[in-house]
Amino acid sequence: MKVIEAKIVVLGSQGVGKTSLVVRYIGKMFSKHISPTIGASFFTCNINLENARVKLQVWDTAGQERFRSMAPMYYRNANAALLVFDITSVNSFAAIKGWVKELQSNVPEAMVLSVVGNKSDLEDLRAVQSSEAAQFAASIGAQYCETSALHDQQGIDQVFLNTAAALLKLSNSNLVSSLRSYDSADVDPDKIPTGTPTEEDATHTGKVELPAWSIDSIAHGHVQKNMCC
Amino acid sequence: MASTSKDVPAVVIQDNPPDDLEPGACHDSILNPTDSFEEFASEMSSSLQERNISLATKSSTISEIQSEIGENSAPMKPTKSSDDLQTKDESISASTSNSNLTEQNGDDTDTEKDDYLQSPELVNKEKHVFILSSAGKPIYSRYGNEDKLAGLCGVIQALVSVVEEQNQDILRSISTNDCKAVFLVKGPLILVAVSKSDESETQLVLQLTYAFNQIVSVLTLTQLNRIFEQRRNYDLRRLLSGAERLIDHLLIFMEKDPAFLLGAVRCLPLPEKARENITNAIQTTCNKIRDLVFAIMLAGNQLITLVRMKKYTLHPSDIHLLFNLVRSSESFKTAESWTPICLPKFDSTGFLHGHVSYISEDCQACLLLLTVQRDAFFPLSQAKHTIADKLRRSNCLVAINDALNRNEELPTTNPLKHIGIPEIRHFMYKCKSTAQLFTSDPISLDKLQDYRLRHKEGGDIMEKKVEKLSDIDYVRNYRKFCSSIHCTSTPAKLIFRSNSCDTILAWVTNGFELYVTFDPLMEKDQAIKAVDRLLKWIKKEEQRIFIMHAPTF
Ligand SMILES: Nc1nc2c(ncn2[C@@H]2O[C@H](COP(=O)(O)OP(=O)(O)O)[C@@H](O)[C@H]2O)c(=O)[nH]1
Ligand SMILES: [Mg+2]
């Protein structure tokens, strides 16, 4: 079975629910007692796709301004980014645009981008329209999802699953050198059907139903020459 | 105060304890045992010029370590610039619009400010702490919303600067009948405590200094100074957002834990062998990691072990900030974290980088690995997992859990019962040469309410609850004895005060400080006999209660 190792960075303003999303996805629970992230937190998870496994290193960053200059440490060599905003906060949506610019000018390799509008449970307080967010996402070649870390396990699972699938496509395209992939000898795809937990538990096993995902819709940074990483 | 000099018995107790070393003392200390009291006392007597000089940036220990391990040519070299979290000029100038905005807010609320000062959020609090910039911009208030305190901050700033500019002097405190205000100007910040408690001026200055150090720990002194050099009117709350809770927690923590009062660190009582195994596991795993400066394991605000790079020690006040960080950050429990940390006493000019994680889900001990190398996350993460495995295999996790859960069988779980002196109600003992502390009853900080709740409801001195005395109350009672003992002009060595509520004995020697609360109306010689037995017990259990070795990598 093909195994892909990829790094994903979660970006967005403080308080939009980045940590809640990641904890919900990996721990399958929501905690009211999450304190603001200090620096960055590191998680790992495995996602089993139909004929591949994606091992994700997740960097959940702090949104506070004082950690802003640490961000390059986390997005450098990242293969995917979740750009999270809070649908009740226009400022947090504007901040996403800043992050996209920063990624585009600093990350030379292609990256899977997802724009995530979180706190969809607070529909009454919505300040960013879905259509606007979706349009922006399309303009940067990203997918757009709305989630609620409070209620919606499925929506969040879908975000990670879509990202994993896009990473698989990206690795097939051989466009990206920092995306490690190899065939795992110890796991025979014929003998172990998808969905069977192997020695390392998958956080997630699933089938992706995507709209037209093509490699062209994956965002590419402006390739910079002479950049050393 | 009931303790007068005539209460002090003629030298009944010999000044040195019976054995050659006082309980807990060892030749090599893991902590830097210099007392802070003198520092605070000098803080309070320095002249205006001295104050301005004292904050001039010192040489960087971090750079020294980097050049020693040969990292100097590596990308780390420009520590001061690349490691500052906020280097870009643009982000500072970007604040212009924002600070205008807050100024407007300030103006809006100016008319309401008199009302606001009378609001329930602010009145009847035992102690307020305000932090503002030297330009008078609000940065932090323990209670209420500092945004609405622009007027008050303006007044504070005016008071401070009038005394400085017109009288070439320093405003240190203002006392009224039931209340004192203590002022501390440090670098670009003004810190003020307004207190109705019986804490001394020095103790309040100590708390303000801790609050200042907490801010430095988040930003570094270099960055803090530079921000205000570039923009005197900067709204520092932008950079501190998310860190207010650290100051909140620190202030609450300081009220409850005598460790701050005594400049000492509590250790988790552990069997000698278990602590040795833990230390070994860390040493053997990490001794190849050249850029690692400190490995610190702690649980429940108590130190389990500390392994350090040769030549470098940690000051108790830096450890207190680490305890505060860990205790205030639930988020460390969910994942491994990688975070910049400045330890003001160690090096206020730069950041160390910390790998912070809990050992395992079934053992709430937290491991901090502090390095000078900002890219060292993965080797440290690897090291952590190796250490955790070793601890599990050598049953150390069980030992830690037993201590944390206060297993009844341990002599340290209920020391008073174990010592068997019924007249002793409470005691706290500090070994001075190692800056370590042991008290008869560990304070339960877990019961602290959510800090936001406290912001609204806490600290109200009107609602007096009648409860059984807790550790915290005993500690409050010791405060005035502490200040007589730490007083730099006429320090007391032994205080014995007996009344119908209780009897308190405070005793300081070259080696230790001891505070004991007995039943009311105790006789002196009876108390002294009890103290003698108490010291013998501490000596007997010292290997368990204290960290008696100072391991290095
Ligand atoms: N209503 C609602 N609140 C959320 C949601 N996700 C997070 N929160 C809350 O938003 C706050 C910030 O969450 P956190 O995960 O720390 O945000 P981060 O700073 O982006 O990591 C917390 O109080 C969460 O409980 C959500 O989907 N709906
Ligand atoms: Mg977070």
Mean pLDDT over A16-45 rounds to: 88
Cα angle A44, A49, A53; round to 5: 45
Question: What mean pLDDT, rounded, does chain A reach?
Answer: 82
B434-468 pLDDT, tens digit per residue, is: 999 999 876 554 444 333 344 444 555 554 444 45
Can you tell me the ipTM of this complex?
0.82
Amino acid in position A8: I
pLDDT of residue B111: 52
B248-257 pLDDT, tens digit per residue, is: 999 988 888 8
Out of B85, B245, B338, the one facing A40 most closely (by C-beta) is B338
Mean pLDDT over B103-118 rounds to: 54
Instruction: Report the chain A residue with the minimal C-alpha distance to residue B241.
Output: A64
Question: Which ligand 1 atom sits closest to the C-alpha of A16?
Answer: 20
Question: Which residue do the tokens 């504070």 mark?
Answer: B156
Would you place residue B94 in the very low, low, confident or very high pLDDT band (cuts 50, 70, 90)? very low
Q: pLDDT higher for B477 or A17?
A: A17
Smallest-distance ligand from the CA of A11: 1
* B297 has a pLDDT exceeding 90: yes
**Interface touch A33/B330, C-beta < 8 Å:** yes
Which of A65, A68, A101 to mutate: most B Cβ within 10 Å? A65
Instruction: Report the chain A residue with the minimal C-alpha distance to residue B338.
Output: A40
**Interface touch B331/A39, C-beta < 8 Å:** no
Smallest-distance ligand from the CA of A155: 1
A36 touches chain B (CB under 8 A): yes
**Taken in order B477, B480, B481, B485, is the CA torsion positive or negative?**
positive
Mean pLDDT over B475-481 rounds to: 86
**Interface touch A27/B238, C-beta < 8 Å:** no
**Interface touch A39/B381, C-beta < 8 Å:** no
B203-222 pLDDT, tens digit per residue, is: 899 999 999 999 999 999 99
pTM of the model: 0.85
Smallest-distance ligand from the CA of A41: 2
**Taken in order B383, B386, B387, B388, is the CA torsion positive or negative?**
positive
A167-209 pLDDT, tens digit per residue, is: 998 888 776 677 777 777 655 444 444 433 344 566 666 655 4
H or E element, residue A5: strand A2-11
**Interface touch A40/B339, C-beta < 8 Å:** yes
A72 touches chain B (CB under 8 A): no
- Pick the range with the lowest mean pLDDT from A46-50, B114-118, B213-217, B344-348: B114-118
For residues B304 and B298, the answer to whether their CB atoms sit within 8 Å is yes
pLDDT of residue B64: 85
Chain A residues closer than 8 Å to B377 by CB: 42
CA distances from A60 to A14, A67, A82, A96, B334 (A): 11, 12, 10, 15, 11
* A8 has a pLDDT exceeding 80: yes
Other C-beta atoms closer than 10 Å to the C-beta of A139 total 10
For residues B160 and B172, the answer to whether their CB atoms sit within 8 Å is no
Q: How far is A81 from chain B (nearest CA, A)?
A: 19
Mean pLDDT over B219-236 rounds to: 93
In sequence order, which ranges of B145-303 are alpha helices (DSSP H)?
Answer: 150-167, 201-219, 221-230, 237-240, 244-256, 258-262, 272-286
pLDDT of residue B241: 86
CA–centroid distance, residue A35 to ligand 2 (Å): 7
CA–CA gap between residue B144 and residue B142 (Å, rounded) = 7
* B372 has a pLDDT exceeding 90: yes
Domains B38-50+94-241 and B410-545 share a fold: no
Beta-bridge partners for B438: B429
* Residues of chain B above pLDDT 90, percent: 42
CA–CA gap between residue A81 and residue A100 (Å, rounded) = 9
Which of A8, A69, A91, A101 to mutate: most B Cβ within 10 Å? A69
B546 Cα distance to chain centroid: 19
Would you place residue B318 in the very low, low, confident or very high pLDDT band (cuts 50, 70, 90)? very high
Would you place residue B315 in the very low, low, confident or very high pLDDT band (cuts 50, 70, 90)? very high
Other C-beta atoms closer than 10 Å to the C-beta of B281 total 23
Mean pLDDT over B245-273 rounds to: 91
pLDDT of residue B139: 94
A98 touches chain B (CB under 8 A): no
Beta-bridge partners for A144: A115
For residues B19 and B539, the answer to whether their CB atoms sit within 8 Å is yes
For residues B535 and B40, the answer to whether their CB atoms sit within 8 Å is no
Q: How far is B370 from chain A (nearest CA, A)?
A: 14
Out of A33, A64, A70, the one facing B242 most closely (by C-beta) is A64
CA–CA gap between residue B413 and residue B407 (Å, rounded) = 7
* B99 has a pLDDT exceeding 70: no
**Angle between helical axes of B244-256 and B471-486 (0-180°, round to 10):** 80
Residue B452 region, left (φ>0) first, then alpha (ψ -120 to 50), else beta? alpha
- What's the token pair of residue B86? 């906020």
Mean pLDDT over A66-77 rounds to: 89
State which fold the B410-545 domain adopts: Beta-Lactamase (3.30.450)
Q: What are the sequence ranges of the domains in chain A?
A: 2-218
CATH class name, domain B270-404 = alpha beta
Smallest-distance ligand from the CA of A20: 1
Question: What mean pLDDT, rounded, does chain B reach?
Answer: 81
Q: pLDDT higher for A188 or A20?
A: A20
CA–centroid distance, residue B240 to ligand 1 (Å): 19
H or E element, residue B390: helix B377-393
CA–CA gap between residue B64 and residue B179 (Å, rounded) = 46
B181-190 pLDDT, tens digit per residue, is: 999 999 899 9
* B322 has a pLDDT exceeding 50: yes
* B369 has a pLDDT exceeding 80: yes
Question: Which ligand 1 atom sits closest to the C-alpha of A13?
Answer: 20
For residues B331 and A37, the answer to whether their CB atoms sit within 8 Å is yes
- Measured from CB, residues less than 6 Å from any atom of ligand 1 are A 12, 14-20, 32, 34, 36-37, 63, 118-119, 121-122, 148-150
Q: B interface toward A at CB cutoff 8 Å?
A: 84-88, 91, 218-219, 238-243, 245, 325, 328-332, 334-340, 354, 374-375, 377, 381
* A43 has a pLDDT exceeding 70: yes
**Taken in order B196, B201, B203, B204, is the CA torsion positive or negative?**
positive
- What's the token pair of residue B462? 């009107």
Would you place residue B394 in the very low, low, confident or very high pLDDT band (cuts 50, 70, 90)? very high
Max CA distance (Å), chain A: 52
Beta strands A180-183 and A204-205, pairing class: unpaired
Question: Ligand 1: which residue has its CA nearest to atom 14?
Answer: A17
**CB within 8 Å of B40: residues ≥ 6 apart:** B202, B205, B206, B209
Mean pLDDT over B496-503 rounds to: 87
pLDDT of residue A33: 74
Q: 3-state secondary structure string, A18-80?
A: HHHHHHHHHHCCCCCCCCCCCCEEEEEEEEECCCEEEEEEEEEECCCHHHHHHHHHHHCCCCE
CA–CA gap between residue B145 and residue B153 (Å, rounded) = 12
**Interface touch B88/A67, C-beta < 8 Å:** no
CA–CA gap between residue B120 and residue B152 (Å, rounded) = 16
Beta-bridge partners for B354: B339, B370
Chain A with chain B: Cβ pairs closer than 8 A: 84
Out of B85, B218, B219, the one facing A70 most closely (by C-beta) is B85
Q: What are the sequence ranges of the domains in chain B?
A: 38-50+94-241, 270-404, 410-545
Mean pLDDT over A111-135 rounds to: 95
CATH class name, domain A2-218 = alpha beta
* B196 has a pLDDT exceeding 70: yes
* B519 has a pLDDT exceeding 50: yes
Question: Ligand 1: which residue has its CA nearest to atom 26?
Answer: A119
CATH of domain B38-50+94-241: 3.40.1840.10
